[in-house]
Structure 1
Amino acid sequence: ATPSSSSPPPKTPSPRRDAQAWASALPASEVPAAMASLAEFISRADEAYHNDADPVASDAAYDATRLRLEALEALHPAMIREDSPIGAVGAKPAAWSALPQVEHAVPMRSLGNCFDDDDVRAFVARVTRALGPPERFDDDARAPLRFCAEPKIDGASASLRYVDGVLVVAASRGDGEVGEDVTRQIGGIPGAPTTLTGRAGDWPATLEIRGEVFIADDDFAALNARREARGMPTFKSARNAAAGAMRRLEPPSRDGADAGRYLRFLAYGWGEVKPQTELLPWSSQRAFLASLPALGLSPVPTLGPITDDVAALVAGSHAALERDRASLGYRVDGVVYKVDDVASQRILGADSRAPRWATAHKFAAETAVTTLRAVDVQVGRTGALTPVATLDPPVALGGATVTRATLHNFEDVARKG
């Protein structure tokens, strides 16, 4: 039958709804094994992505796995595992790494994710409910609720700590609490000066700047061309090259085949600010970004208007950037929405993994066609059984060459092959 003109349009596919439907259909008897399998996959992928700079899963596969585990934990809170990675940030510095460890004075958190407009509306609704009416708080400085947007750069996060205008340490994110000292690797790269410009008093006594280390598209092409000409292995993605170069023991050289030569830094936020973090020299996210060039720092670009309208927010940033992202000159995998007002950010706070006042809106997942050649059953360290598909030919997705894909349960096997 043809739907009537009054029928609502069919909902577009949603990774979050798909995960919730899968979790709801899973028999309770299979939940513990599924949780163990999903948690093991996420932990292994986190280690490969953050410490090895060699992803074992595409972004889409990783996100889908996290969503399934989140959905299971929401339905079965009594079964949540002590080692669940859902509240974790990044990965602990690798035991084999020779880089000194650095404790973050202010936790360096990750971001929650939105995958469609419904998720964005839900995020805005949560923020609105949490803040309540302005009179709820005795805070005359609080501005009306509005959101700003920035590109989500596909790189490696780092923190720059300046004391009296001098860079004293640069650190990787690590697990959000402890990172690694990468001062030799990124201190002085474009966007991350070793000394702030201006005069004493132009910056706080201690200023910690958070941002993304990356390699621009043209530089990445030149890097791989030089490596190929020398018979050296090429990099799968600019993100992998940047993350690997940032964690090398040797500082970058002038060699055109050294990825460290091409690293850049764009700032998106701050950590510890002294003498008084509560009295910041900026009152909004946009004001913070606008203040950085005067200090010799490079901010991420801003997208679209500052607005309280969800449709305008998405259209002016996410939709526009997804259409035109090639013009940026570096890889991005989505947009970050933030509450613009710093006083409101402080009220909203954060959970163990991410701030409540910001979220990422991911771009649609990359897809590729291949053939499922075989399915093996993998036994994890917890004894969980996971079907794993062997794919031929391998496919390149999100910086990872995928030869095997975790199917999570045997219903997936029937559905996919």
Structure 2
Amino acid sequence: MRFFLSPPHMSGNELKYIEEVFKSNYIAPLGEFVNRFEKSVKEYSKSENALALNSATAALHLALRVAGVEQNDIVLASSFTFIASVAPICYLKAKPIFIDCDETYNLDITLLKRAIKECEKRPKALILTHLYGNAAKMDEIMQICSENNIILIEDAAEALGSFYREKALGTFGEFGVYSYNGNKIITTSGGGMLVGKNKEKVEKARFYSTQAREDCLHYEHLDYGYNYRLSNVLGAIGLAQMEVLEQRVLKKREIYNWYKEFLGDKLTFLDELKDSRSNRWLSTALIDFDTKELNLYEKNINISQKNIPLHPKISKLIDDLKKEQIETRPLWKAMHTQAVFKDCKAYINGNSELFFQKGICLPSGTAMQKNDVKEISELILKSIKE
């Protein structure tokens, strides 16, 4: 049997709703199911406004634009993430400054304060990623952004179903985004959602997402926009997936706990923050890890390795599991170590590089059973022992 990292899991009303879409012939963007999908996200997350889009990247792009980010503005961003979290900064020709992570995989508060203090001008916004579904330290980050008049945009692409102090991640900042890509906890095959507190700004994003077309019989444009809306077919899938989201979260957390049960003596599993609930989108672990290795050079700026070698055991483990048709990956390679951002400023402490070297993402599909996790765990123990 082949185990993928995080495959789609369709098991509810997806086909039923798609059939309704086909009967109505509303296949293209907009339609009843896009509206119902947005409503379901608002109800689940307690967001005031929601906009269904074709990707979370599009949602971040629109959030930055309606937040007023322009060319040469400074946007702070989590460095330990996937490039889609920060690429929209470049779309607007703004300047990213990357902030390394703490022991939660998320943005380090000490470095954030330092970056703001030393910035040549006030940063316009902060894109904060909640990595692998784990909550960042929101109390402190919210306060810092408020004190410095920085717009907080939460990249909760991996964190739908995660909460901090019983509040959904993605709903703390001015804007938040969720992803429904094929590998996320629930999926529309490809899609995203922008949520936000300000109705006027979210409606402006809605306007931009449909080519900035004016309310005229003909096609009239006073501004430029984008083709970013979600189709009604995918909206139908999204609505059905939202109906089983809580089941998927509970199963992901169960899978994570099974890995800890079988591997906790040999690998390190980082805990979620107190008063938070991670959706455990991917079960991740660290090998030969010692907390004394954290924050090794936080006093240095723009000093980092670009070509970071994986720990030999991680390289071997990935190869060994691949031979058994088990998909695994290293953790994200931080943005400040990527060649495309070689000229960007970064505030680093070495943590994201350490996690990349020693970390692994394990199969976390919600159709897995305990015996599957046990089988994979036994292969992992065999590999790292040899």
Q: What TM-score results when the alignment is normalised by the length of structure 2?
A: 0.25
Which structure would you say has the larger Rg?
A: 1
Higher relative contact order structure (alpha carbons within 8 Å, sequence separation ≥ 6): 2
More strand by share: 1
Instruction: Point out the structure with the larger helix share.
Output: 2
TM-score (norm 1): 0.24
